[in-house]
Amino acid sequence: MRRRERPPAWGCVPCPRSELRLDLVLRCGQAFRWRERGAGCWRGVLAGRVWTLRQAEERLWFAVRGEEEEEEEEQQEEEEGGGGSRPGPGPGPGASRSVAGTLRSGGEAQRLLRDYFQLRVGLAALYRGWAAADPHFRDVAPAFPGVRVLRQDPVECLFSFLCTSNNHLARITAMIEHLCQAFGRRLCQLDGEPYHAFPTLQALAGADVECRLRELGFGYRARFVSQSAQAVLRQFGPEGLHQLRSMPYPEARRLLCTLPGVGAKVADCVCLMALDKAEAVPVDTHVWQIARRDYGQQLGSGAKSLTRRVHTELGDFFRRLWGPYAGWAQAVLFCADLKQFRQVPSPGVRTRRDQAPSAAALPRCRLSPALEAAPGDSGTLCTEAAPASGAPAVELHSGARRKRACGEKGPFRGQLAAPSPLPPCRRRCRRGAAPGYTSPAPQGVL
Catalytic residues: 265
Helices (H), 117-185: 123-133, 135-140, 154-161, 169-183
Taking the C-alpha atoms of residue 333 and residue 295, their distance in angstroms, rounded to an integer, is 12
Q: How far apart are CA 182 and CA 217, in angstroms?
A: 12
C-alpha distance from residue 437 to each of 173, 426, 434 (Å): 15, 8, 9
Q: What are the C-alpha distances in Å from 160 to residues 24, 52, 176, 177, 248?
A: 19, 22, 6, 10, 23
Q: Is 299 helix (H, G, I), strand (E, B) or coil?
A: coil
Q: Show the CA angle centred on residue 190, arms to residues 177 and 45, nearest 5°.
A: 55
The CA distances from residue 206 to 210, 226, 230, 238, in Å, are 8, 7, 8, 14
- What Cα–Cα distance (Å) separates residue 137 from each residue in 1, 204, 312, 318? 60, 41, 21, 12
Q: Are residues 405 and 220 in contact, defined by beta-carbon separation less than 8 angstroms?
A: no
* Contact call for residues 330 and 278 (beta carbons, < 8 A): no
